[in-house]
Amino acid sequence: MDKIGVDENCGIKSRKWLAWGIVLLVVIVAVSWYLSRDKGGLKEGMVVIKAGDARLGSFTVADLRKLPAVEKKMVITSNCGGACKSSEDDGDDSSEHNYTGTSLLEVLNSIDPGLPQKYKKVITRGIDYYSQVLEMSEVQQPDNVYIVYSDYGQPLKTKAGGDGSLLLVVCSDQSGQRFTNWLVSLELQ
């Protein structure tokens, strides 16, 4: 009889631990969702520029097309050593692009000519929450940081597959690791 009582006790304790584990998992998922939700109504095709809580401006692909355009021919070499290629690829870890866009410095100056002097860093953010930090000195280097809207004359694709996305390109990075796809936000610090 004692064994039956002990087994029931263990079973009850196991179920309590399982219930607490499920509750904890639900709380973790809820907190993660809350922290990662889109607080600013950001959407592809529009980039919001802010400093702290202040919104300094925004721009769209149409706004960029009104600024001086530059074509940038680039060969981006992947640093995955062939590990990210499918069996159908030819084994080349590079891709050629002919981007059209505007320098980030030109964009910032169009919002406020004093912005590049007031801030030291630019934090870029994509719709997928990928972020990258650029020093303002990099942005001010000639022929280095661009926001592009087309490749070979075709609009860049949004994450969902539509037309009208933006890409931040750092020309001094030939591997593309510092590029920001699906750009939606620039935070100045």
Tell which wins on pLDDT, 13 or 115.
115
Check: CB of residue 172 under 8 Å from CB of residue 108. no
Among the residue ranges 78-82, 132-136, 147-151, 169-173, the one predicted with the least confidence is: 78-82
Residue 179 neighbours by CB distance under 10 Å: 19
Provide the sign of the torsion angle of the four alpha carbons 39, 161, 182, 83, taken in this order. positive
Confidence at residue 87, expressed as pLDDT on a 0 to 100 scale? 47
Asked whether the predicted pLDDT for residue 35 surpasses 70, the reply is no
- 2 has a pLDDT exceeding 70: no
Quote the pLDDT of residue 92: 63
Assigned token pair, 175: 């591997």
Residue 89 has what pLDDT? 52
Whether the predicted pLDDT of 24 surpasses 80: yes
How far apart are alpha carbons 52 and 189 in whole angstroms? 8
Q: What's the pTM? A: 0.73
Nearest to 49 by CA among 115, 114, 117, 113: 115
- Strands 94-103 and 70-77, sheet pairing: antiparallel
In the predicted structure, residue 69 carries a pLDDT above the cut 80: yes
By C-alpha distance, which of 61, 63, 58 is closest to 185?
A: 58
Determine the average pLDDT of the residues in 76-94: 61
